[in-house]
Structures are given as structure tokens and as C-alpha cells.
């Protein structure tokens, strides 16, 4: 069975933790322990978030002059290499020596006419007081918006259109390689308008769940898992009546509304995959990945299910 697992940002750096290599490695080790049983029995592809890591590199880049700072696409490539290295090493410590690994720097094409470029919405980097945010916006040509009581930079979040490295990823899977790719939604790239169609990087962040769904679909994955810090998708979250959906069709779960800042994008991506492929997408806790693969835990979404059911 071919399984794509998308690790949420919490799998790499939990909220409130120091942004150190030691903290990231500790969390990657926990993720590797959850994924190793899957890699032993199935073909495995891993994608991951990179928000805190890009934020850290952006902070380091603040020491540069505005025209010397590295753009977001380059920072994304740096984080893909760093995180992939840690995942390879920690999984390699758990799996037989003969199991091959490969981290692929993954460019993802976006459309220059995507409406996301007209209304930047993706928060990146640290928070600022309004006066400092306004100063940085003028100095660095940023767009800033309020994030709670503070202000942050926002960048476009265009839809993923094509994964350039999909062919080498397939070649590696055919040779039973564990592949780490499409980190942070991939490296956003696009063809400039004009006859030369020059490929260039983009100051944007692609939604990692939608990119992982595209990856799973193009790889013809049998199962697409989005690992997070929750047992699954809750209804009535935060209330005494809260319960976790176990199985659902895309239509049934579509009757509920989920926050855009948490489960909304994951449910959307899961439904897209289920509708397009007729296969199963799952959302659940990182530690439950082996049980999710068996269909025992998490929220499972498929057109083949008979409506909606909840965990006991």
C-alpha cells in the first residue's frame, strides 16, 4: 500500500518551545517512532510543515539590509533540506540499514493570475507592534495585517498547480525508497509572463495541506494521512458534547463548519482527495498513525462509507 503522511507543524516544533535544533530533533524523533511501523510494511511518502523554521530564518535575515535578505522561496528550500535531513536520520535509526531514504527539494508551480496574489492572507514571521509593523512594511515593501492584538507580515497563498519533481518521486518509490518531499507546501515557483516563460521563485506560501493532497493524488496513494495534535475532527469542539468523527463521506462532513485556522483546510484537503480518487483520507494524532493505517483511529473520509459515525 502507498501511504502519504503530512506532518503538521506541531510534529516538528510545538507552540511555546524554543526554536532550537535540539527541540526540533526531539520532536522529529517522536514523529519517526510513529511512522517507522508504516515504513516497514508500506511504501511511505512524508511531507511536513515548516512555518516556525521559515520564521526563524526570516528573523535571522532581519540582520541583513532589505535588499540583501533571502526571499521566501529560498528560505523554503533551506527548511526542506534541514527538516528532511532530521527525518531521514531519525527514521534511519529505527529501520533496517537497507531501507533507502531521499529528501527531494520540491518546486510547486502556481498561477501568476491566482486570486491569492491580490489578497495576501498567510501570516509569516514574528509579531510586531503596529508602529514597527508599519515601518517594516514601508522599508521592505511588505503587506502587514493584525494578528490578534499584534501585527504580522502576510504573503499570498496561491493554490498548488503542479509538482515539478513528481517523476523522480515516483521513480524512488518504485525502488522502495522512503521519500520526504513537498515540505511547507513546496517551494512556490511560477513561469513569468512572456514568450521566454522563465521559471522564477515567488514570495508566497502554498497551503501545505492542499499541496500534500495534490502530492497524494498524483502519486495515486492508497491512503492520505494528515497528522496533527488532535485525535481527529471534533464536532462541538470545546463543549461537553464534543465528539470525534470516526468515518464520514465528503458530503456528510461537508455539512459542518470548521475553523480556517485549524481543521478547516485539513477537512477540505481530505474531501478533495476522497472525491477525486475514491480512496480514503484521514486526519488524526501523530502517535495514532499505525492505528489510523489500520482504520481504528482518527477521522476517516471516503465516498464508500455509509454516512457519518463517531468514535465511542
DSSP string, the chain: -EEEEEE-GGGTS-TTS---HHHHHHHHHHHHHHHHHHHHHSEEEEEE--HHHHHHHHHHHTTS-TTTSPPHHHHHHHHHHHHHHHHHHHHHTTS-TT--EEEE--EEE--TT-GGGTS--EEEEEEE-HHHHHHHHHHHT-EEEEETTEEEEEE--PPP-EETTHHHHHHHHHTT-EEEE-GGG-EEEEEPSSTT--EEE-S----HHHHHHHHHHHTT-SEEEEEESSSS-EESTTSTT-EEEEEE-HHHHTTS---TTTHHHHHHHHHHHHHHHSSEEEEEEGGGHHHHHTTSSSEEE-TTS-SEEE--
Exactly one of 9, 49, 125, 284 is catalytic; name it: 9
| CATH class (in words) of the domain with range 222-311 | alpha beta
The question of whether 10 is a catalytic residue gets the answer yes
Segment 12-57, tens digit of pLDDT: 767 667 777 888 889 899 999 999 999 999 999 999 987 767 667 6
Exactly one of 49, 76, 122, 232 is catalytic; name it: 122
| CATH topology agreement for domains 1-111+160-221 and 222-311 | yes
Break the chain into its structural domains and give their ranges: 1-111+160-221, 121-155, 222-311
User: What b/e string do you get for 143-153 counting C-beta neighbours within 10 Å, with b at 16 or more?
Assistant: ebeeeeeebbb
Distance CA 7, CA 28 (A): 10
The question of whether 279 is a catalytic residue gets the answer no
Exactly one of 10, 50, 186, 232 is catalytic; name it: 10
59: pLDDT confidence band, cut at 50, 70 and 90?
Answer: low
The question of whether 122 is a catalytic residue gets the answer yes
Exactly one of 51, 266, 297, 298 is catalytic; name it: 266
Segment 73-112, tens digit of pLDDT: 998 899 899 999 999 999 999 999 999 999 999 999 999 9
Segment 142-195, tens digit of pLDDT: 899 998 899 988 899 999 999 999 999 999 999 999 999 999 999 999 998 876
Q: What is the pLDDT of residue 55?
A: 67
Q: Is the pLDDT of residue 127 over 90?
A: no
Does the 1-111+160-221 domain belong in CATH 3.40.1160.10?
Answer: yes
| Phi-psi region at 184: left, alpha or beta (left = phi > 0; alpha = psi -120 to 50) | left
Exactly one of 8, 50, 84, 208 is catalytic; name it: 208
Segment 223-269, tens digit of pLDDT: 999 999 889 999 888 788 889 999 999 999 999 988 877 799 999 99
Amino acid at each position: 500500500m502507498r501511504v502519504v503522511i503530512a506532518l503538521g507543524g506541531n510534529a516538528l516544533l510545538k507552540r511555546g518551545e524554543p526554536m532550537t535544533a535540539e527541540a526540533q530533533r526531539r520532536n522529529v524523533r517522536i514523529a519517526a517512532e510513529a511512522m517507522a511501523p508504516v515504513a516497514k510494511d508500506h511504501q511511505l511518502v512524508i511531507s511536513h510543515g515548516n512555518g516556525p523554521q521559515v520564521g526563524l530564518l526570516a528573523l535571522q535575515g532581519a540582520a541583513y539590509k532589505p535588499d540583501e535578505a533571502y526571499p521566501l522561496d529560498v528560505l523554503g528550500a533551506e527548511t526542506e533540506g534541514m527538516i528532511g535531513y532530521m527525518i531521514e536520520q531519525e527514521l534511519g535509526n529505527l529501520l533496517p540499514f537497507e531501507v533507502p531514504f531521499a529528501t527531494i527539494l520540491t518546486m510547486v508551480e502556481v498561477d501568476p493570475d491566482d486570486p491569492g496574489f491580490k489578497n495576501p492572507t498567510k501570516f509569516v514571521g514574528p509579531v510586531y507592534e503596529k508602529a514597527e509593523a508599519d515601518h517594516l512594511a514601508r522599508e521592505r515593501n511588505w503587506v502587514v495585517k493584525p494578528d490578534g492584538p499584534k501585527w504580522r507580515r502576510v504573503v499570498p497563498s496561491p493554490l498548488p498547480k503542479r509538482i515539478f519533481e513528481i517523476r523522480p518521486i515516483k521513480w524512488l518509490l518504485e525502488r522502495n525508497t522512503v521519500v520526504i518531499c513537498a515540505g511547507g507546501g513546496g517551494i512556490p515557483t511560477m513561469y513569468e509572463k512572456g514568450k521566454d516563460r522563465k521559471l522564477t521563485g515567488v514570495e508566497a506560501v502554498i497551503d501545505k495541506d492542499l499541496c500534500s493532497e495534490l502530492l497524494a493524488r498524483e502519486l495515486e496513494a492508497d491512503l492520505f494521512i494528515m497528522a496533527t495534535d488532535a485525535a481527529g475532527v471534533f464536532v462541538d469542539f470545546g463543549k461537553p458534547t464534543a465528539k470525534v468523527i470516526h468515518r464520514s463521506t465528503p458530503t456528510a462532513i461537508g455539512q459542518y463548519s470548521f475553523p480556517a485556522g485549524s481543521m478547516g483546510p485539513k477537512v477540505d484537503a481530505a474531501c478533495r482527495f476522497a472525491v477525486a480518487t475514491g480512496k480514503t483520507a484521514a486526519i488524526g494524532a501523530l502517535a495514532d498513525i499505525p492505528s489510523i493505517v489500520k482504520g481504528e483511529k482518527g477521522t476517516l473520509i471516503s465516498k464508500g462509507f455509509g454516512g457519518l459515525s463517531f468514535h465511542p
